[in-house]
Amino acid sequence: MRKRLQVRTLTPNERQAIEQLARSRTEATRLVERARIIQQASQGRAVAEIAERLNVSEMTVGRWLKRFNMASVAGLEDQPRSGRPTTYTVEERAEVVAMALTDPQTLKLPFASWTLDRLAAYLNEQRHIAIKRSRIDEILLTEGLRWRSQETWFSERVDPEFAEKRGRLKSSTPRPRKAAS
Protein backbone atom coordinates (compact mmCIF):
# COMPACT_ATOMS: atom_id res chain seq x y z
CA MET A 1 0.00 0.00 0.00
CA ARG A 2 1.31 3.46 -0.96
CA LYS A 3 1.92 6.06 1.68
CA ARG A 4 -0.38 9.08 1.28
CA LEU A 5 1.57 12.14 0.20
CA GLN A 6 0.86 15.26 2.23
CA VAL A 7 2.37 18.68 2.56
CA ARG A 8 3.99 19.46 5.90
CA THR A 9 2.55 22.17 8.15
CA LEU A 10 3.31 25.59 6.69
CA THR A 11 4.86 28.36 8.77
CA PRO A 12 3.03 31.72 8.69
CA ASN A 13 5.72 33.15 6.39
CA GLU A 14 5.50 30.17 4.03
CA ARG A 15 1.70 30.36 4.00
CA GLN A 16 1.86 34.08 3.12
CA ALA A 17 4.45 33.48 0.37
CA ILE A 18 2.44 30.59 -1.11
CA GLU A 19 -0.79 32.59 -1.10
CA GLN A 20 0.95 35.55 -2.72
CA LEU A 21 2.51 33.35 -5.41
CA ALA A 22 -0.74 31.49 -6.06
CA ARG A 23 -2.56 34.80 -6.74
CA SER A 24 0.27 36.42 -8.71
CA ARG A 25 -0.29 37.67 -12.23
CA THR A 26 3.34 38.66 -12.80
CA GLU A 27 5.30 35.59 -11.65
CA ALA A 28 6.13 32.75 -14.04
CA THR A 29 3.13 30.55 -14.76
CA ARG A 30 4.93 27.39 -13.66
CA LEU A 31 5.78 28.97 -10.29
CA VAL A 32 2.16 30.05 -9.76
CA GLU A 33 0.98 26.54 -10.63
CA ARG A 34 3.40 25.02 -8.11
CA ALA A 35 2.24 27.42 -5.41
CA ARG A 36 -1.38 26.46 -6.14
CA ILE A 37 -0.47 22.79 -5.72
CA ILE A 38 0.99 23.54 -2.28
CA GLN A 39 -1.97 25.77 -1.39
CA GLN A 40 -4.47 23.04 -2.31
CA ALA A 41 -2.48 20.41 -0.40
CA SER A 42 -2.32 22.64 2.70
CA GLN A 43 -6.13 22.74 2.62
CA GLY A 44 -6.15 18.95 3.05
CA ARG A 45 -6.93 17.93 -0.53
CA ALA A 46 -5.67 14.58 -1.84
CA VAL A 47 -3.09 14.30 -4.65
CA ALA A 48 -5.65 12.97 -7.15
CA GLU A 49 -8.09 15.80 -6.38
CA ILE A 50 -5.37 18.46 -6.73
CA ALA A 51 -4.23 16.94 -10.04
CA GLU A 52 -7.78 16.98 -11.38
CA ARG A 53 -8.53 20.54 -10.18
CA LEU A 54 -5.31 22.00 -11.63
CA ASN A 55 -5.27 19.80 -14.73
CA VAL A 56 -1.83 18.31 -14.04
CA SER A 57 -0.65 14.74 -13.45
CA GLU A 58 -0.54 13.12 -10.04
CA MET A 59 3.20 12.64 -10.58
CA THR A 60 3.62 16.41 -10.98
CA VAL A 61 1.68 17.08 -7.78
CA GLY A 62 3.80 14.52 -5.93
CA ARG A 63 7.06 16.00 -7.24
CA TRP A 64 6.23 19.51 -6.01
CA LEU A 65 4.89 18.33 -2.65
CA LYS A 66 8.16 16.44 -2.05
CA ARG A 67 10.27 19.41 -3.19
CA PHE A 68 8.33 21.81 -0.97
CA ASN A 69 8.55 19.47 2.02
CA MET A 70 12.34 19.31 1.60
CA ALA A 71 13.22 22.90 0.63
CA SER A 72 10.24 25.13 1.49
CA VAL A 73 9.24 27.89 -0.99
CA ALA A 74 12.72 27.89 -2.55
CA GLY A 75 12.07 24.27 -3.61
CA LEU A 76 9.43 25.49 -6.05
CA GLU A 77 12.03 27.32 -8.15
CA ASP A 78 13.53 25.62 -11.20
CA GLN A 79 16.79 23.81 -10.53
CA PRO A 80 19.75 24.26 -12.89
CA ARG A 81 19.53 21.95 -15.86
CA SER A 82 22.29 20.14 -17.64
CA GLY A 83 23.23 21.26 -21.08
CA ARG A 84 25.90 22.76 -23.21
CA PRO A 85 28.29 24.98 -21.25
CA THR A 86 28.46 28.67 -22.11
CA THR A 87 30.27 29.34 -25.36
CA TYR A 88 31.62 32.78 -24.55
CA THR A 89 33.92 33.65 -21.66
CA VAL A 90 33.07 36.36 -19.16
CA GLU A 91 35.68 38.59 -20.82
CA GLU A 92 34.12 38.13 -24.28
CA ARG A 93 30.66 38.88 -22.92
CA ALA A 94 32.02 41.99 -21.22
CA GLU A 95 33.63 43.05 -24.51
CA VAL A 96 30.29 42.70 -26.33
CA VAL A 97 28.54 44.86 -23.73
CA ALA A 98 31.37 47.43 -23.71
CA MET A 99 31.32 47.73 -27.51
CA ALA A 100 27.53 48.08 -27.58
CA LEU A 101 27.80 50.96 -25.10
CA THR A 102 30.64 52.66 -27.00
CA ASP A 103 29.89 55.41 -29.50
CA PRO A 104 31.06 54.08 -32.90
CA GLN A 105 32.35 57.51 -33.88
CA THR A 106 34.91 57.42 -31.04
CA LEU A 107 36.31 54.32 -32.78
CA LYS A 108 36.48 56.35 -36.02
CA LEU A 109 33.75 54.29 -37.66
CA PRO A 110 31.62 55.87 -40.43
CA PHE A 111 28.27 55.55 -38.64
CA ALA A 112 26.60 57.20 -35.66
CA SER A 113 25.01 54.18 -33.98
CA TRP A 114 25.35 50.43 -33.79
CA THR A 115 23.05 47.93 -35.37
CA LEU A 116 23.30 44.25 -34.49
CA ASP A 117 24.84 43.57 -37.91
CA ARG A 118 27.43 46.34 -37.52
CA LEU A 119 28.30 45.24 -34.01
CA ALA A 120 28.64 41.59 -35.07
CA ALA A 121 30.89 42.58 -38.00
CA TYR A 122 33.07 44.81 -35.79
CA LEU A 123 33.45 42.15 -33.09
CA ASN A 124 34.31 39.50 -35.70
CA GLU A 125 36.79 41.59 -37.68
CA GLN A 126 38.39 43.88 -35.10
CA ARG A 127 38.06 42.03 -31.78
CA HIS A 128 38.23 38.48 -33.22
CA ILE A 129 35.14 37.32 -31.36
CA ALA A 130 33.16 35.03 -33.65
CA ILE A 131 29.60 35.89 -32.65
CA LYS A 132 26.24 36.10 -34.37
CA ARG A 133 23.80 38.97 -34.04
CA SER A 134 21.23 36.78 -32.28
CA ARG A 135 23.77 35.89 -29.60
CA ILE A 136 24.72 39.57 -29.18
CA ASP A 137 21.06 40.40 -28.64
CA GLU A 138 20.79 37.58 -26.09
CA ILE A 139 23.85 38.83 -24.17
CA LEU A 140 22.58 42.41 -24.12
CA LEU A 141 19.13 41.33 -22.91
CA THR A 142 20.73 39.22 -20.18
CA GLU A 143 22.66 42.30 -19.06
CA GLY A 144 19.43 44.32 -18.94
CA LEU A 145 20.11 46.33 -22.11
CA ARG A 146 17.39 46.76 -24.71
CA TRP A 147 18.23 47.30 -28.34
CA ARG A 148 16.67 50.47 -29.67
CA SER A 149 15.18 50.52 -33.11
CA GLN A 150 15.00 54.25 -33.76
CA GLU A 151 18.12 56.28 -33.06
CA THR A 152 16.28 59.58 -33.58
CA TRP A 153 14.09 58.95 -30.54
CA PHE A 154 17.05 59.03 -28.18
CA SER A 155 19.57 61.39 -29.72
CA GLU A 156 19.81 64.50 -31.82
CA ARG A 157 18.72 64.30 -35.40
CA VAL A 158 21.46 63.44 -37.85
CA ASP A 159 20.59 66.46 -39.99
CA PRO A 160 20.44 69.71 -37.93
CA GLU A 161 18.43 71.43 -40.71
CA PHE A 162 15.84 68.66 -40.84
CA ALA A 163 12.94 70.82 -39.60
CA GLU A 164 13.59 73.52 -42.20
CA LYS A 165 13.91 71.01 -45.03
CA ARG A 166 10.80 69.15 -43.93
CA GLY A 167 8.64 72.22 -44.18
CA ARG A 168 5.56 73.22 -42.26
CA LEU A 169 3.70 70.39 -40.52
CA LYS A 170 0.15 69.69 -41.57
CA SER A 171 -2.39 68.42 -39.10
CA SER A 172 -3.26 64.80 -39.73
CA THR A 173 -6.63 65.03 -38.00
CA PRO A 174 -9.33 67.43 -39.12
CA ARG A 175 -10.60 70.02 -36.67
CA PRO A 176 -13.91 69.11 -35.04
CA ARG A 177 -16.96 70.83 -36.49
CA LYS A 178 -18.78 73.34 -34.39
CA ALA A 179 -22.04 72.09 -32.97
CA ALA A 180 -25.23 73.57 -34.38
CA SER A 181 -26.89 76.00 -32.02
Name the more confident of 26 and 145.
26
Predicted pLDDT at 64: 95
DSSP 116: H
Predicted pLDDT at 83: 83
The per-residue pLDDT for range 112-129, each reduced to its tens digit, is 888 889 999 999 999 999
Averaged pLDDT of the chain: 85
Domain 12-76 belongs to what architecture? Orthogonal Bundle (1.10)
Helix (H, G, I), strand (E, B) or coil at 43: coil
Q: How far apart are CA 25 and CA 37, in angstroms?
A: 16
The per-residue pLDDT for range 46-77, each reduced to its tens digit, is 999 999 999 999 999 999 999 999 999 999 99
Q: How far apart are CA 23 and CA 32, in angstroms?
A: 7
Residue 34 burial (CB count, 10 A): 29
Predicted pLDDT at 122: 94
The per-residue pLDDT for range 8-21, each reduced to its tens digit, is 999 999 999 999 99
The per-residue pLDDT for range 125-174, each reduced to its tens digit, is 999 999 998 899 888 888 888 776 544 444 454 666 766 777 776 666 67
Residue 96 scores a pLDDT above 80: yes
Give the pLDDT mean for 97-104.
91
